[in-house]
């Protein structure tokens, strides 16, 4: 089979996403600038998010087997790059909603999938979903055995309901547009206090809670300033007893599987930020003389910095697309490729934007230019969606320690035969 990174059916998707980003998402910055609180800024993005839903982009990234129109992660990657290069806030709200739905897609029964996913397939409203895993104090070891704490949120049976108590943090838009809860919450919690930590964890689905979501604080994040990141309590939140995804005790596998796909998309996010920074720095270098006789792009140091930045962009995009394709076809090394994409793309973004700021000089430190904001947004990429140090490199380390690990499998080869599949 020939290696081909060209887009066929995704080309029109790419162009339509680019048009939407430039005409609609470009308005997020002006609409939120000057607003003082996280909730004010988040609320100001609702019209853009509603238009995104109305034009079918949320449906377009939900895979077709679940009622959407997406053909997989490659579709998501195409949309993610075009959107995130223009506005990180609404883009992350959409993709965090997809993350909130992934446990339903991966572990829900056919009946649960039909019931829970239905509202997100409509081209109307502003539906939000959230995967409520992270907790205050960190959740890198959410399934840790004693003496570790692991997940602290607990659920107990009460007749035909579960009652959930606990605290969550860093869960994108989980408290919804009104502070009372998103339309669908997939809550990772301890459902069997007597069991060992891993089998004790389950995911319970809570649909638009009537009561019990209590906002403690909206985080003032360095970047993604118009994306909502709450710290909140679940105080006696009720959900029906049949809202367990999969079998009780399957939360760890569902969480791990959900975050496998998103790793590759974070690599795309890094690509998008580098792309936006490069386009600005290139234009700046082509026209600015900074008091000299020639545009600064004529200087070798500037030209080389731009060349290195473009190399990193192309490498990050190719790796991320390849990881997405591997996940779509369930290739044996898909997880490994997704982890590489996340680590490389996220860390390259921070490094490349810093180098491009040197090209522009001190003016890049002024928020009137885009590079300072792009750096603020890039800094979180190595930290969230499974931090590169606490989670992602550890996952790679575990793969490398596996006796059956095949170092050639990631490009379709075999260490034993040298053959390429």
Catalytic residues: 385
Q: How far apart are CA 247 and CA 212, in angstroms?
A: 25
Q: Which residues pair with 420 in a beta bridge?
A: 413
How many angstroms separate the Cα of 322 from the Cα of each of 22, 139, 279?
26, 29, 24
3-state DSSP assignment of residue 420: strand
Q: How far apart are CA 421 and CA 418, in angstroms?
A: 10
Find tokens 């990772």 and name the residue.
188
Q: Is 361 left (phi over 0), alpha (psi -120 to 50) or beta?
A: left
Q: How far apart are CA 241 and CA 203, in angstroms?
A: 12
What are the DSSP calls for 319-370, one per residue? HHHHHHHHHHTT-TTHHHHHHHHHHHHHHHHHHHHHHHHHHH-GGGGSTTSH
Question: Whole-angstrom distance between the N-terminal and C-terminal Cα of the chain?
Answer: 9
391, two tokens: 């989670």
Of the candidates 342, 387, 378, 341, the residue with the CA atom closest to the CA atom of residue 134: 387
Of the candidates 283, 294, 278, 269, the residue with the CA atom closest to the CA atom of residue 385: 269
Taking the CB of residue 260, how many other CB atoms lie within 10 A of it? 21
3-state DSSP assignment of residue 375: helix
3-state DSSP assignment of residue 282: helix
Q: How far apart are CA 301 and CA 179, in angstroms?
A: 50
């Amino acid at each position: 089979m020939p290696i081909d990174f060209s887009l066929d059916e995704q080309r029109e998707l790419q162009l339509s996403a680019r048009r939407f980003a430039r005409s609609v998402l470009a308005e997020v910055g002006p609409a939120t600038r000057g607003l003082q609180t996280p909730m004010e800024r988040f609320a100001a993005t609702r019209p853009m998010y509603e238009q995104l839903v109305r034009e079918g982009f949320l449906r377009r990234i939900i895979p077709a087997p679940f009622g959407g129109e997406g053909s997989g992660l490659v579709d998501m990657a195409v949309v993610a790059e075009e959107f995130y290069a223009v506005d990180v806030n609404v883009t992350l709200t959409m993709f965090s909603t997809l993350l909130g739905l992934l446990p339903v897609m991966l572990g829900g029964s056919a009946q649960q999938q039909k019931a829970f996913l239905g509202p997100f397939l409509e081209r109307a409203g502003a539906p939000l979903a959230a995967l409520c895993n992270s907790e205050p104090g960190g959740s890198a070891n959410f399934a840790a055995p004693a003496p570790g704490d692991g997940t602290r949120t607990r659920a107990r049976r009460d007749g035909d309901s579960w009652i959930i108590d606990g605290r969550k943090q860093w869960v994108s838009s989980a408290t919804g547009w009104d502070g009372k809860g998103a339309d669908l919450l997939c809550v990772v919690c301890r459902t069997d206090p007597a069991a060992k930590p891993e089998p004790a964890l389950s995911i319970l689905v809570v649909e638009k809670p009537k009561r019990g979501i209590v906002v403690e604080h909206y985080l003032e994040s360095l970047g993604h300033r118009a994306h909502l990141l709450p710290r909140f309590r679940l105080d006696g939140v009720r959900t029906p007893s049949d809202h367990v995804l999969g079998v009780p005790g399957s939360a760890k596998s569902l969480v791990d599987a959900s975050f496998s796909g998103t790793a590759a998309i974070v690599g795309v996010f890094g690509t998008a930020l580098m792309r936006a920074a490069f386009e600005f720095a290139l234009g700046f270098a082509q026209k600015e003389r900074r008091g000299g006789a020639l545009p600064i792009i004529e200087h070798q140091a500037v030209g080389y910095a731009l060349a290195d930045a473009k190399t990193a962009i192309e490498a990050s995009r190719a790796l991320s697309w390849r990881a997405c394709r591997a996940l779509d076809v369930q290739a044996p090394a898909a997880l490994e490729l997704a982890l590489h994409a996340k680590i490389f793309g996220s860390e390259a973004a921070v490094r490349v934007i810093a180098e491009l700021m040197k090209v522009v000089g001190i003016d890049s430190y002024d928020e009137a230019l885009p590079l300072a904001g792009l750096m603020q947004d890039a800094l979180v990429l190595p930290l969230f969606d499974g931090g590169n140090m606490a989670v992602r490199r550890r996952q790679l380390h575990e793969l490398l320690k596996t006796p059956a690990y095949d170092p050639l499998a990631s490009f379709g080869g075999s260490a034993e035969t040298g053959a390429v599949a």
